[in-house]
Homo-oligomer: A and B are copies of this chain.
Amino acid sequence: MTNPHGTAVPSSGALRPLPAARLDPAGLLGAWQARNAEATLPHCVAQLEAHGNLDNLRRIVDDIRDAPAVFAGYWFADTDVHKTLEAALWQQTEPRFVADTVRLLEQAQDHDGYLVSYFQTATHRDRQWAELSSSHEMYTAGHLFQAAVAAARTTSGDSQRLVGVARRFADLLVRRFGAGGTDAVDGHPEVETALVELYRVTGHQAYLDLAARFIDLRGRGLLGPESRFHQRHYYQDHVPVRDADEVTGHAVRQVYLAAGAVDVAVETGDTKLLKAAERLWESAVTTKTYITGGHGSRHRDEAFGDPYELPPDRAYAETCAAIGSFHWAWRLLLATGRSRYADEMERLLYNGIAASTALEGTAFFYSNPLQLRTGHDGSDEDAPGQRLPWYTCACCPPNLARLMASLHTYAATGGPEGLQLHLYTRGTFTAAGHTVEVATEYPWDGTVAVAVTETTGGRWTLALRIPDWCTDARVSDPTAVIADGYAHLERTWQVGDRVELVMAMPPRLVTAHPRVDAVRGTAALTRGPIVYCLEHADLPEPLTGVVFEDLQLDAAAPIAVVHDGHPIAPVALAATVTVRTAATAALYQPIEQATPPATVTATVLVVPYYLWANRGPGPMRVWIPLAPQER
């Protein structure tokens, strides 16, 4: 394949996606991708059938456009179909679902190209394009376009017809909202990045122009008057994208918009816009990002909070926001080549994103809190105590499916100049005739062995990312130059050449910036890229009867790495905790009565955060209160 097989394939930038990559299911990322094919994708297809998303489209085809609305789910229910379709195309599985759905979409599409089934029913038809702040019509179009891009990049068969469907809808958008048309933007960004991608696979300039136009029109109040519930910042319509310096409002919308801004910037050579996206990203990671990479501190509005407002218990950290952040970081990595963006992708992947899926791959979190208390009321879908098989608003599961299906495309980049490895996992990666095979137990072990299995000859550079969490990285080749977050190995590579990167992976105690009030006096345990958590299911005998919230971490005690012996964690950490139960039940007391004495002391295993809630409901916390140090 010369057409790079992945999402976001810019025509320029510091780094280039690979034309070929394969993950080995014996590695963690490959295992996740295999689980996606075997469990998550079939589950999504079945849920679309069970929840009526496909029937919504079938009713349009069955010529009942003029019948009163019978519609299942939210008005943007088509997007779950599009995302599942995109996932199946990247994964190259579920051929029957793909074929049927492409045909269904072709048939459901109106003659003018319109294709949002909710607004194609007689009851809602007159509302087309009339409620852009909430209708999600372009958001829905965007997900259709991304499915078509996946078809264009993965197949040459019938599903290519999906590109035609997408183009007809995109052409309608161009006619209606392009230069000279209506000045408007959609309340939920997504179409911007999708239009740029559709431009990349079709070469049709009008799509790029429209995406650029949407970026330019945002922040001018086109989404209408402010209401009690949604102010302009909710939609990122309060300030032009180029002038924004703080992530704000609905987190998914913000990160999707930012990803689209990078796409537009790269394709149009708009360095000011790229700088704005980098500035926005900087503000996010220094003031509004969870240690898991999660975004969104508030359930209300599913939104970013104020700077340093990062409560672990009410973290919204929506799965879709984490996925959107991953795509944003990936685009910035490609544009700039800066390792920090790959660091962020890694943090998101192993923590904020991984946590959302149950071990078996068929239950999901929508919000991803970093703490669950004893007595938590998990009856609301927005804060359940365990992963659910599906949601009333089911945006997250198929979003996970499409990310996991395309996971092999984010691990490495390259071209004639060489190969850059960003995410370490077992797999095979090819760029311009150079192929390497990676063997590693990462993220459980810090040793990464890279073997060259194909080369076109001549000098080229193998670049190996040194993660930001790593303070002790050694490369087996003494000529390696470590700079800008990568070990660069330039030589005339021969087939059979091997190089080894060894990253020390000690357990670490991490604290938050003192301005993060919500986790003052606590620490999180990490090892390598993995954030750990204390979970009720791991409490040993002397602790099972205590109130989970009375546990404190002894920061002075050594923390051991446990490679075997945990039922679900490949690597657990063993920490020392004490129990301190307040003498009084009073909520508030004079300071002199405030510190209860330690009673029980015990060793407890802490597990990767992403594995929590796989053993029944119960309290959990990433940020563990620190026991007062003995003096």
Residues on A close to B: CB < 8 A?
226, 228, 231-233, 238, 246, 248, 285-287, 289, 291, 298-301, 305-314, 371, 373-377, 379-382, 392-393, 508-524, 547, 549-550, 555, 580, 582, 585-591, 594-596, 623, 625, 631
Q: Residue A510 contacts which of B301, B514, B590 (CB distance < 8 angstroms)?
A: B590
Q: Residue A591 contacts which of B307, B376, B509 (CB distance < 8 angstroms)?
A: B509
Given the complex, which residues of B lie within 8 Å of A310, measured CB to CB? Answer: 587
Q: Max chain B CB contacts within 10 Å: which of A231, A291, A381, A518? A: A518
Q: Residue A580 contacts which of B305, B374, B514, B596 (CB distance < 8 angstroms)?
A: B514
Cα distance A228–B311 in the bound complex, in angstroms: 23
Q: Given A233-B377, A307-B374, A510-B588, are A520 and B521 also a contact pair (CB < 8 Å)?
A: yes
Among residues of B, the one whose C-beta sits closest to the C-beta of A290 is B587
Minimum CB–CB distance from A9 to chain B (whole Å) comes to 31
The answer to whether A587 touches B286 (Cβ under 8 A) is yes
Minimum CB–CB distance from A294 to chain B (whole Å) comes to 12
**Number of chain copies forming the complex:** 2
A-B contact pairs, 23 of them (CB 8 A): A228-B393, A246-B375, A286-B585, A287-B587, A289-B587, A307-B375, A311-B518, A312-B517, A314-B314, A509-B590, A510-B588, A510-B589, A510-B590, A511-B588, A511-B590, A512-B588, A513-B588, A514-B580, A515-B547, A515-B550, A516-B587, A523-B591, A555-B591
Among all A-B residue pairs, the 7 with the closest Cβ atoms: A521-B521, A299-B300, A228-B392, A520-B521, A509-B591, A511-B594, A515-B549
Cα distance A625–B308 in the bound complex, in angstroms: 14
Cα distance A524–B379 in the bound complex, in angstroms: 33
Q: Max chain B CB contacts within 10 Å: which of A291, A314, A393, A586? A: A314
Given the complex, which residues of B lie within 8 Å of A508, measured CB to CB? Answer: 590
Given the complex, which residues of B lie within 8 Å of A393, measured CB to CB? Answer: 228
Given the complex, which residues of B lie within 8 Å of A587, measured CB to CB? Answer: 285-287, 289, 291, 310, 512-513, 516
Question: A287-B587, A306-B313, A517-B518 given. 10 additional CB < 8 A pairs?
Answer: A228-B393, A248-B377, A289-B587, A301-B380, A371-B517, A508-B590, A511-B591, A511-B594, A513-B586, A514-B549
Q: Residue A550 contacts which of B514, B582, B589 (CB distance < 8 angstroms)?
A: B514
Q: Given A233-B379, A379-B231, are A373 and B307 also a contact pair (CB < 8 Å)?
A: yes
The answer to whether A314 touches B308 (Cβ under 8 A) is no
Cα distance A518–B314 in the bound complex, in angstroms: 11
Given the complex, which residues of B lie within 8 Å of A231, measured CB to CB? Answer: 379-380
Among residues of B, the one whose C-beta sits closest to the C-beta of A226 is B379
Given the complex, which residues of B lie within 8 Å of A371, measured CB to CB? Answer: 517
Given the complex, which residues of B lie within 8 Å of A311, measured CB to CB? Answer: 311, 313-314, 518
Minimum CB–CB distance from A600 to chain B (whole Å) comes to 15
Q: Residue A520 contacts which of B377, B522, B586, B631 (CB distance < 8 angstroms)?
A: B522
Cα distance A589–B596 in the bound complex, in angstroms: 28
Minimum CB–CB distance from A66 to chain B (whole Å) comes to 26
Cα distance A209–B377 in the bound complex, in angstroms: 33
Q: Residue A631 contacts which of B379, B519, B522, B631 (CB distance < 8 angstroms)?
A: B631
Given the complex, which residues of B lie within 8 Å of A521, measured CB to CB? Answer: 520-521
Given the complex, which residues of B lie within 8 Å of A509, measured CB to CB? Answer: 590-591
The answer to whether B309 touches A625 (Cβ under 8 A) is no
Given the complex, which residues of B lie within 8 Å of A375, measured CB to CB? Answer: 246, 306-307
The answer to whether B582 touches A514 (Cβ under 8 A) is yes
Q: Given A306-B377, A590-B508, are A625 and B286 also a contact pair (CB < 8 Å)?
A: no
